[in-house]
Chains A and B, each alone.
Chain A
Amino acid sequence: MTDGARFGARRTARPDVVIVGAGIVGAACALALAREQLDVQIVDASFAGSGSTAAAMGHLVVMDDTPAQLALTSFSRGLWDRMADELPAGCEYEMRGTVWVAGNDEEMEAARAKQAVYAAHGVASSLVDAAELARMEPALRPGLAGALSVPGDGVLYPPNAARWCIERAVALGAVVRERCEAVALSRGAVRVRAAGGVEESISAGAIVIAAGIDAPRLVPELPIVPRKGHLVITDRYPGLCHAQLVELGYLRSAHGLSGESVAFNVQPRATGQLLIGSSRQLAGRDGAIDDVVLGAMVRRATSFLPALARCDVVRVWTGFRPATPDGLPLIGRWHAEPGVWIAAGHEGLGITTAPGTAALIAADLVGRAPPIDPAPYDPGRPMRPASDATPEEHACRAT
């Protein structure tokens, strides 16, 4: 313990930790903290994995927008990899690998640069030329320049991964309260409203806010905004593609907070279904399907993978990424209020970075040295907005 909070007394009436939010991040925190033998309660307004987690693609991917993003994603992907044997079949974990597709020579240059960065950080990847790419993924359109293949990236089914983390935490003594909404924070306690409308306060040694896009409802200063995305899932076409296929232009699309963008991002699921992404837009909390954005996203996908055009769609849905101005999550102690920790704002990388986030929170709570440098994710850091749209980004714009 580093700031005087005592976690010794194991009483449910005053747990060591209350976690607000049982999405993938809160669920991973619950598991990590229960493993530290802490007395953990987790509350969720709905049920485990029901928010952004339910809508997510479940791509476990190392990303290198910034050194801090690379550090967290590669550390966290390693943690998933170590859990792989424990994950039940319903989590559909597969080490599919990511193939970053280069449409032209300029993007192939970007692939080379990316490969150098990954190599410097010990992340295995290899450059693939046009002929090799066509052999690996024959359904891609001809004439592509090549790709960067990252074989260690994975895929899982997020709602069941969150549920599994919660069940493991409960097996270690954690208490989960679903349909129990956190409505306010006050001096070391969370006020919650249970399903029947009954309110009570749970006071705890530490409160971890892992409520994603809802985190600002409890801590209004948090700079988190919902960033909407569309996803399409098809019937089963096993073998149409093998790795998660993402265009290198995705990096431009994911960058910055302004504007609408789409990128080619197709994931083969363990079921043989294909999950088609991705789009980004700021639209408040309106979850309605936006035909213009969806149309642009689908056309982008079929331009890379023509056979997709006649695959049958089973369902289309939208979800919200909890986005921050600089593209990095908010992980760590909230300086403005003693006893409060934040684990939120993971944008589109919450599934990948949940175990890493949980490891950082756990280390801080028990006073152990952090596994990676936590400074870049400090929730109180000055936010420098990620650069605005570059001219190249227009290629990925939806409209």
Chain B
Amino acid sequence: MPRDVTVTVDGRRISAPEGSTLASAMLGAEVTHFRTSVTGAPRAPVCGMGVCFECRVTVDGRPHQRSCLIPCTDGMRVETSPNEIGAWAPPPDAVHESRSCDVAVVGGGPAGIAAAVAASAAGARVIVIDQGMRPGGQIWRHRDPAALPKAARNWLARLGEKGGGAPPEWLARSTVFDARVGEDIVLRLTGEGARGCGAVRARRVVLATGARELLLPFDGWTLPGVLALGGAQALLKGGMVVRGKRAVVAGSGPLLLPVAAALSRAGARVMFVAEQAPIAQAAAFAAGLWSHPAKLWQAAAYGASLRGATVRFGTWVRSAEGDQGRVARVRLTNGRRAWTVPCDLLCASYGFVPAVELARLMGCDVERGRVAVDALQRTTVPNVWCAGEPTGVAGEAAALVEGRIAGLDAAGDEARARSARLQRARDGWRRFGERLTDAFRPRDEVRRLASDSTVVCRCEDVRRESLDPSWSVRQAKLYTRITMGPCQGMVCGAACTSLFGWSPGTVRPPVGGTEVARLG
């Protein structure tokens, strides 16, 4: 039984199980207003994984901290309103120290874990750098490993095993904000876990940076209580309490049912599940799953656990409305008619966007939003590999096999990386990924839901009406500040691509942000 810790939020004491994230604990205690946007609107967590920057609060006097990345600790003091800068501790002196290894793996989800295990078994000294508190990435996010599927538990166990050499070294709560590719590759680190270590110097690097959710703007999408699908899942795993709340689950793709099921298991009343893809398209995809029976079994199991929620295909969110600064109703449509469903939580996202920023910063070729790799997962930059979602969204199984190929090759075992078994598995899962992406591609109506007054850039509150479709993203950025906020376009960049067809802007360090001292 985990003990509870007590955190003070705006002077109010709340308690949460140890290991909860701050964002989850605050949401569970009915805090709905985390930060105030630059034009004065209340905002609350959306992505649950450090991407959207909407959950920023002041923690122990330090402003702008992403509460979804922070574990609750006893006595932590939190303020949600804009405030003065408190007395900060001086930055750690040791940030200029670096650690060395043969293979550095960036990202600790399935691809990163498989790469680390394979490279380590082949005798390489491996360091894994991960933003999370515990290994597993988004899909295997957990507080208690017992809650994970057996396969995931096995992988986590293998991570701790001695292979050819020492087990991989795990740097939790650390992110790479900049990289220099030379004879060695220097990855510059930030984050609480990187105290005492400013950089990792590696001979070879495997990028396993995963994906983030595609959020498409609609009227009301900035209201507190509107979450991404995976965001809801992450916040639930972080300890968010939803008992008795009415939830609508909408968007597209295979996350819909598991999120609806997870909400339902946690005691929420799932009112409606709306998949924007037409039923024929989704059914054609499901028929293709006969070659992947485990997936079909999983889908059926989720369906069974929904306890009578209405599930509709070809149905999508048109807008959301709020009362007292939080979502209260959602307007759904199937293109012919529209209706309103009351809700306390609206979970909506439209599939995934590969996280390619670090790869782009390092100079890797990116085609159609995916890092270009060969059969060995080698990128176009020598000594840099890429595995999993950044090379195209295809899910956990693809990530595991690609991670394994990348890890083996990066550790010098090209022969095994080229083995027919691994290559065949990889190609099979890649095809699965293509079918998945095609089946759940958002329809045009969904891509263009934003009205003139819809906020497109949540960091800078840029409304659609101030954007001229004839501009480039750089022009839009310079004239309106869109993509210039803390998220650096990780949310609105993809929205702009959907709305206007703009290609992503330049990637500049620090990727994901860092503190000034880390640049010195």
A interface, CB within 8 angstroms of B = 47, 49-50, 54, 90, 159-160, 163, 232, 234-240, 271, 276, 289, 291, 294-295, 298-299, 301-302, 306-317
Q: Quick one: closest A residue to B180, CB to CB?
A: A291
17 A-B interface contacts by CB (under 8 A):
A47-B472, A54-B478, A163-B479, A234-B516, A235-B63, A235-B486, A237-B63, A239-B85, A276-B516, A302-B517, A308-B516, A309-B91, A309-B520, A310-B89, A311-B515, A312-B515, A313-B510
Complex CA–CA separation, A163 to B475 (angstroms): 11
Complex CA–CA separation, A309 to B514 (angstroms): 10
Residues on B with C-beta less than 8 A from A238 are 82
Shortest beta-carbon contacts, A-B, top 10: A309-B517, A159-B478, A298-B520, A299-B520, A298-B519, A235-B64, A310-B88, A309-B91, A308-B516, A310-B515
Given A232-B519, A291-B180, A294-B519, A312 and B64 touching (CB < 8 A)?
yes
The reply to whether B478 and A314 form a contact with Cβ atoms under 8 Å apart is no
The B504-520 residues at the A interface (CB cut-off 8 A) are: 508-510, 513-520
Main secondary structure of the interface of A (DSSP, over half): mixed
The reply to whether B516 and A298 form a contact with Cβ atoms under 8 Å apart is yes
Name the contact of A316 in the complex, choosing from B62, B475, B519 (C-beta under 8 A).
B519
Residues on B with C-beta less than 8 A from A311 are 515-516
The reply to whether A47 and B475 form a contact with Cβ atoms under 8 Å apart is yes
Does B474 sit within 8 A of A, measured CB to CB? yes
The reply to whether B488 and A315 form a contact with Cβ atoms under 8 Å apart is yes
The B197-231 residues at the A interface (CB cut-off 8 A) are: none
Complex CA–CA separation, A271 to B478 (angstroms): 15
Measured CB to CB, the closest approach of chain B to A131, in angstroms, equals 22
Measured CB to CB, the closest approach of chain A to B518, in angstroms, equals 8
Residues on B with C-beta less than 8 A from A271 are 38
Name the contact of B509 in the complex, choosing from A163, A289, A298, A312 (C-beta under 8 A).
A289
Complex CA–CA separation, A160 to B84 (angstroms): 29
Measured CB to CB, the closest approach of chain A to B487, in angstroms, equals 9
The reply to whether A307 and B88 form a contact with Cβ atoms under 8 Å apart is yes
The reply to whether B90 and A309 form a contact with Cβ atoms under 8 Å apart is yes
Does B484 sit within 8 A of A, measured CB to CB? yes
Complex CA–CA separation, A302 to B517 (angstroms): 8
Measured CB to CB, the closest approach of chain B to A181, in angstroms, equals 15
Complex CA–CA separation, A315 to B510 (angstroms): 6
Q: Kindly name the residue among B84, B471, B475 whose own CB sees the greatest number of chain A CB atoms within 10 A.
A: B475
Complex CA–CA separation, A351 to B480 (angstroms): 19
Given A314-B484, A315-B484, A301 and B510 touching (CB < 8 A)?
no
Complex CA–CA separation, A94 to B177 (angstroms): 33
Measured CB to CB, the closest approach of chain B to A35, in angstroms, equals 23
The reply to whether A295 and B520 form a contact with Cβ atoms under 8 Å apart is yes
Residues on A with C-beta less than 8 A from B90 are 306, 309-310
Complex CA–CA separation, A195 to B233 (angstroms): 47
Complex CA–CA separation, A106 to B221 (angstroms): 57
Measured CB to CB, the closest approach of chain A to B369, in angstroms, equals 21
Q: Quick one: closest A residue to B460, CB to CB?
A: A271
Complex CA–CA separation, A239 to B85 (angstroms): 9
Complex CA–CA separation, A232 to B82 (angstroms): 22
The reply to whether B63 and A313 form a contact with Cβ atoms under 8 Å apart is no
The reply to whether A313 and B516 form a contact with Cβ atoms under 8 Å apart is yes
Complex CA–CA separation, A313 to B188 (angstroms): 14
Given A232-B519, A239-B84, A294-B519, A312 and B479 touching (CB < 8 A)?
no
Q: A235-B486, A310-B62 are in contact. List 9 more A-B contacts (CB 8 A).
A: A49-B478, A237-B85, A238-B82, A295-B519, A309-B515, A313-B510, A313-B515, A313-B516, A314-B485
Measured CB to CB, the closest approach of chain B to A308, in angstroms, equals 5
Give B79-122 as 1s and 0s: 1 = Cβ < 8 Å from A's Cβ atoms.
Answer: 00010110011110000000000000000000000000000000
Residues on B with C-beta less than 8 A from A301 are 516
Name the contact of A240 in the complex, choosing from B85, B89, B479 (C-beta under 8 A).
B85
Name the contact of B486 in the complex, choosing from A54, A232, A295, A314 (C-beta under 8 A).
A314
Complex CA–CA separation, A313 to B178 (angstroms): 12
The reply to whether A316 and B516 form a contact with Cβ atoms under 8 Å apart is no
Residues on A with C-beta less than 8 A from B484 are 314-315
The reply to whether B488 and A314 form a contact with Cβ atoms under 8 Å apart is yes
The reply to whether B478 and A312 form a contact with Cβ atoms under 8 Å apart is no
Measured CB to CB, the closest approach of chain A to B182, in angstroms, equals 11
Q: Quick one: closest B residue to A53, CB to CB?
A: B478
Complex CA–CA separation, A314 to B508 (angstroms): 9
Given A235-B486, A240-B85, A295-B520, A316 and B510 touching (CB < 8 A)?
yes
Residues on A with C-beta less than 8 A from B486 are 235, 312, 314
Measured CB to CB, the closest approach of chain A to B231, in angstroms, equals 21
The reply to whether B91 and A312 form a contact with Cβ atoms under 8 Å apart is no
The reply to whether A90 and B479 form a contact with Cβ atoms under 8 Å apart is yes
Complex CA–CA separation, A90 to B480 (angstroms): 8
The reply to whether B475 and A50 form a contact with Cβ atoms under 8 Å apart is yes
Q: Quick one: closest A residue to B513, CB to CB?
A: A312
Residues on B with C-beta less than 8 A from A315 are 484, 488, 508, 510
Measured CB to CB, the closest approach of chain B to A344, in angstroms, equals 21
Q: Quick one: closest A residue to B186, CB to CB?
A: A291
Residues on A with C-beta less than 8 A from B519 are 232, 294-295, 298, 313, 316
The reply to whether A312 and B520 form a contact with Cβ atoms under 8 Å apart is no
Measured CB to CB, the closest approach of chain A to B183, in angstroms, equals 16
Q: Kindly name the residue among A237, A289, A294, A314 whose own CB sees the greatest number of chain B CB atoms within 10 A.
A: A314
Residues on A with C-beta less than 8 A from B88 are 307, 310
The reply to whether A159 and B479 form a contact with Cβ atoms under 8 Å apart is yes
Complex CA–CA separation, A276 to B195 (angstroms): 24
Measured CB to CB, the closest approach of chain A to B44, in angstroms, equals 18
The B306-361 residues at the A interface (CB cut-off 8 A) are: none
Complex CA–CA separation, A310 to B480 (angstroms): 27
Give B386-399 as 1s and 0s: 1 = Cβ < 8 Å from A's Cβ atoms.
Answer: 00000000000000
Q: Quick one: closest B residue to A314, CB to CB?
A: B486
Q: Quick one: closest A residue to B517, CB to CB?
A: A309
Measured CB to CB, the closest approach of chain A to B125, in angstroms, equals 25
Residues on A with C-beta less than 8 A from B63 are 235, 237
Q: Quick one: closest A residue to B509, CB to CB?
A: A316
Residues on B with C-beta less than 8 A from A240 are 85
Residues on A with C-beta less than 8 A from B180 are 291
Give B243-266 as 1s and 0s: 1 = Cβ < 8 Å from A's Cβ atoms.
Answer: 000000000000000000000000
Measured CB to CB, the closest approach of chain B to A236, in angstroms, equals 8
Q: Quick one: closest B residue to A315, CB to CB?
A: B508
Residues on B with C-beta less than 8 A from A309 are 90-91, 515-517, 520
Residues on B with C-beta less than 8 A from A47 are 471-472, 475
Complex CA–CA separation, A90 to B479 (angstroms): 8
Measured CB to CB, the closest approach of chain A to B171, in angstroms, equals 20
Residues on A with C-beta less than 8 A from B62 are 310
Residues on A with C-beta less than 8 A from B471 are 47
Q: Quick one: closest B residue to A179, CB to CB?
A: B472
Complex CA–CA separation, A4 to B89 (angstroms): 70
Measured CB to CB, the closest approach of chain A to B381, in angstroms, equals 15
Complex CA–CA separation, A315 to B488 (angstroms): 8
Complex CA–CA separation, A271 to B480 (angstroms): 13
